[in-house]
Amino acid sequence: MNADITLLNLNMLYLRYYESLDRERHVPLGPLYLTRAIEDADLTVDFRDYQFNEYDDPFSLANAVDYLRESSALIGISVMANLLPFAILLARRIKEVFPEKTVLLGGVGPKSVERVILQRFQEIDLIAYGEGERTGPQIVACLANGGDLSRCPGIYYRDGNTVVKTAHPGRLGSLSGQPYPAYQKTDLSRYSAIGMMTSRGCPFPCTFCSVAPVWDFNPVLRTAEDIVAEMRYVLEQSDTDLFLFQDEYFLASPERAKELCRVIAGSGLKVRWKAFGRVNLTDRESMEMMARSGCLELRFGIESGSNEILSRIRKGFTVEEATAVISSAAAIFPGVDAFFIWGFPFESLEHFYQTVFLMNSFRMMGVRVLPSLLCYLPQTAVYNELDKTRLQFSNETIPEYMVTGHESFHGTAITIRPEHRHIYEFIIANPDIFPGFFQYDIANNVRPKLDVLTEFGFYGGPVNGETAESCGAHSAATRAR
């Protein structure tokens, strides 16, 4: 392969639940933005989206290496935290089969554990951080030409036995006017819907959140005109009219939402879309405008039914405010989702029962309630404040955010297949790198709460006719009320 880099998207939604398999494909915006930036610098990218693999077992390392046959001398792997263990093991196998290749790790998966990964695993040559549009072209050019890595911003690499972090590359000042993702590198018709970014980063200090720290709590936005221009471009390239706005700061303010709705309405585009909302940045007028402009579904992170917990995790609103907004949203949109997190180490059973009460109240409104077990990612404040000696690995449950596809779900329990057991042994051996797979005080903090949620029908099978769905990204599936 003569390309300057083979870029592998390893971000996948792959969920085995009872006898069903959810394998919904999402447009990998990050790797495609990176691809566009590299090619705009007159370098070449061999882009491969592993979501399109057709292997019976996509988590076989042999199959993943086969997917990389005839790849470039430089292989870049984009990965999130749930598949970080698989990515590192894949890099090890790549080095065994192709020892001459250089392996670059990127994406949000390695955030805050870059140094320890490079210290522990020689199969990873370097790790990129920051915005790929600012760093990618220079890194690829440097490696292609044998340049000085110390002069490339935005990477961690080894210099002998020392791990070096180069200068921070800085942030883009605005997302407006940035080149579109390299859509031409993939087949948009093979995705369930089209994801689109309206912002990058979030300013809110929620202690459990892994997204805001990645971007240093500094959001960068796009104008409504720039967003709608890309929507028009995508409509001309694909046969879908459904857009998924996945960024957490989509509702930066009610006025920003209203402006986007006005621009969509004025464009004449006939589109449907889904987005994330935030309780303290949403009002009824903005939600009504969103519905009129094609919004089918709004998702809210509520997290807890206890004001004490909401204050401690720095959520920025109260239970009473959340109830008022959710009640209004349920009357406006065909679909409303409410996320809740349970299993905080400081969550008493009294706090937890307040959460269960609110979950039931929302469900009675017709809201889809999506609970998830707290996930301890290394860049989060809740993890850094934790007594880590009480983290435990369970062979029976796993935080929803860390579902990998290696395991099969049967009600509240998971089954780890024998051929994938080695991946979990690798996780257990490296808890400081993969803390998201571990749970706090299973016997006293997790199991009793899971039993209650199961009793109320939030776990254990389809609820109210709803099938299992990811607790993170929007699904392309639509539902009627």
pLDDT tens digits, one per residue of 249-286: 998 889 999 999 999 999 999 999 999 999 999 999 99
Q: For the chain, list the domains and their CATH numbers.
A: 5-165 (3.40.50.10090), 192-455 (3.80.30.20)
- Predicted local distance difference test score (pLDDT) of residue 212: 92
Q: Is 379 exposed, middle or buried (0-12, 13-18, 19+ CB in 10 A)?
A: middle
Per-residue confidence band for 22, with pLDDT thresholds at 50, 70 and 90: confident
Mean pLDDT of 126-130: 97
- Predicted local distance difference test score (pLDDT) of residue 84: 98
> Quick one: how many helices (H) and strands (E) in the chain?
15, 21
Mean pLDDT of 386-393: 94
Residue type, 419: E
- Predicted local distance difference test score (pLDDT) of residue 116: 98
Output the DSSP codes for 45-57: EEEEEGGG---S-
Element (H, E) at 94: helix 84-97
Whether 347 shows a pLDDT value over 50: the answer reads yes
Average pLDDT over the chain reads 92
Mean pLDDT of 367-392: 96
Mean pLDDT of 300-329: 98
The bridge status of strand 194-196 relative to strand 199-200 is unpaired
- Predicted local distance difference test score (pLDDT) of residue 462: 43
Mean pLDDT of 30-56: 97
- Predicted local distance difference test score (pLDDT) of residue 476: 56
pLDDT tens digits, one per residue of 431-440: 999 999 999 9
Per-residue confidence band for 23, with pLDDT thresholds at 50, 70 and 90: confident
Whether 470 shows a pLDDT value over 80: the answer reads no
User: Using an 8 Å Cβ cutoff, are 181 and 288 in contact?
Assistant: no
Whether 464 shows a pLDDT value over 50: the answer reads no
pLDDT tens digits, one per residue of 184-204: 999 998 988 899 999 999 999
- Predicted local distance difference test score (pLDDT) of residue 97: 96
Tokens describing residue 293 = 């402009």
Classify residue 442 by its DSSP letter: I
Per-residue confidence band for 158, with pLDDT thresholds at 50, 70 and 90: very high
Q: Could you give the CA distance from residue 374 to residue 344 in angstroms, rounded to a whole number? A: 6
- Predicted local distance difference test score (pLDDT) of residue 468: 42
**Cα–Cα–Cα angle for 134, 214, 397, nearest 5°?**
135
Mean pLDDT of 420-433: 95
Sheet holding 194-196, edge to edge: 194-196, 242-245, 272-277, 295-303, 335-342, 368-373
Element (H, E) at 382: helix 381-384
Whether 424 shows a pLDDT value over 80: the answer reads yes
Residue 186 β-bridge partners:
none
Whether 387 shows a pLDDT value over 70: the answer reads yes
Mean pLDDT of 149-154: 96
Q: Could you give the CA distance from residue 43 to residue 330 in angstroms, rounded to a whole number? A: 49
Give this prediction's pTM: 0.94
Reference 427, options 88, 48, 79; nearest CA is: 88
Whether 478 shows a pLDDT value over 60: the answer reads no
Our CA dihedral for 267, 285, 365, 474, rounded to 10 degrees, sits at 40
